[in-house]
Chain A
């Protein structure tokens, strides 16, 4: 029994050591963050509008929108009791957005990781650590991550 307690303490302490991260992204999965949308590419629709539209959906709270050169990334969280239908919500949201703005390519994801990365990118841009060109690269990384399956 004692060894179990030691192990747990070690894990907990190791967990605390990592917590020197940036403010919001550390809590991004715990609370509603409502990150400001990012508009890397200025042509076309405004990200604000998309965010409002996504957040108006009942099953969804907390949406992060990033518009890049070729893609618009929409990451959001689904209310927990609706998570059973998560895949269906994702599909219908993508169809809806594709239909409404047919000159944009949407990447839609309810994955926590994608959301977290979107918030991190937002913070890095706010802190002036990332310029628009790098941000676009990061966006591509995030989208690649989303497409990965195994």
Chain B
């Protein structure tokens, strides 16, 4: 603890006790679970991609978009039936990092706040969890693309 000086001896003792009893996170086990579940979701995504390539007019380049939409749709179903929550408890980042986790965040927030009405409840809370992802994604992409464009135009990159 960095701000130990400001604490009374009793508080320091509590901190020590707290540290001793804090649950050790089973990092290796969590990582293995995240790896398998995350990998599995991506493999399913790959299967969906090939499905679109085989049966519809999508190329490898363009099949990404319908694949993402499909995965979000599946995430909606799993969230609605309460399965995705269980998956999240088991897999941790393995279910949060794929876009299905993004979809889950949006859908579960939307369902949860439905009782407050569609405009204020669903509309206002839908992006409560996922909003930060969109914000930082868009802003960082803006900065990066801006830098790159300027470098390319004036630096002759």
Using a CB–CB distance below 8 Å, which chain A residues touch chain B? Answer: 1, 3-4, 7, 15, 18, 29, 111-114, 116, 145-146, 148-150
Contacts and interface: CB of A to CB of B under 8 A. Distances in A.
Interface secondary structure of B, over-half rule:
helix
A4 B58 CA distance: 27
Contacts of A146: 59
Interface residues of B, number: 19
Nearest to B62: A148
Contacts, number: 37
A113 B65 contact: no
B59 A150 contact: no
A15 B44 CA distance: 13
Contact of A29 (B50, B62, B77, B78): B50
Contacts of B77: 7
8 contacts: A1-B86, A15-B51, A18-B55, A29-B50, A113-B53, A145-B59, A148-B61, A149-B61
A150 B66 CA distance: 11
